[in-house]
Amino acid sequence: MTELPNMPQGTVLVIDDEPQITEIIDTFLTSSGYEVHASNVAAEGLNLAKQLKPDVILLDIMMPDVDGYSLCNDLKNDNDTAGIPVVFLTGKDRNDDMGRSFKVGGDMFIKKPFSCERLLEILNIILLSTKH
């Protein structure tokens, strides 16, 4: 069996107003070799994205301060963060929600609840496609 290197697989920023979601994702992705940062507030998440320039942003749609669509739009219109892939995590699953997420610049759409293994698979696909 090949050992995984101790180096992170990539840097992930999780922006979700539910602390239990960010904790689960943080624990799982950290144990899978990712460097994870999290915010439960949209404005703080935007600032972290600009500071950290993560490889991927996991973004909730429904947040109390700013919705994920607006935040994604802000990220995609900022030169510092425009190229960072955004994966929407949401309990919403209507077709118009999915369409809107892509319209504002989202790269993927994952419906909650989701398996951590599926999330890891999607992150690996995104990171492989952006590094080539």
Q: Give the whole-angstrom CA distance, residue 42 versus residue 28.
A: 22
Summarize pLDDT for 22-64 with one digit per residue, the tens: 999 999 999 999 999 999 999 999 999 999 999 999 999 998 8
Q: Give the whole-angstrom CA distance, residue 128 versus residue 132.
A: 7
The answer to whether 87 and 122 have CB atoms below 8 angstroms apart is: yes
Residues in the chain: 132
Where are the chain's structural domains?
11-130
Predicted pLDDT at 56:
97
Single-letter residue type at 99? G
State both tokens at 36.
């994870």
pLDDT surpassing 80 at residue 15: yes
Angle ∠(122,47,54) on CA atoms, nearest 5: 30
3-state DSSP of 52-104: HCCCEEEEECCCCCCCHHHHHHHHHCCCCCCCCCEEEEECCCCHHHHHHHHHC
Q: What is the CATH number of domain 11-130?
A: 3.40.50.2300
Taking residues 77-99, report their average pLDDT: 86
Predicted pLDDT at 93:
66
pLDDT surpassing 60 at residue 3: no
User: Percent of the chain, pLDDT > 70?
Assistant: 89
Predicted pLDDT at 4:
46
Predicted pLDDT at 64:
87
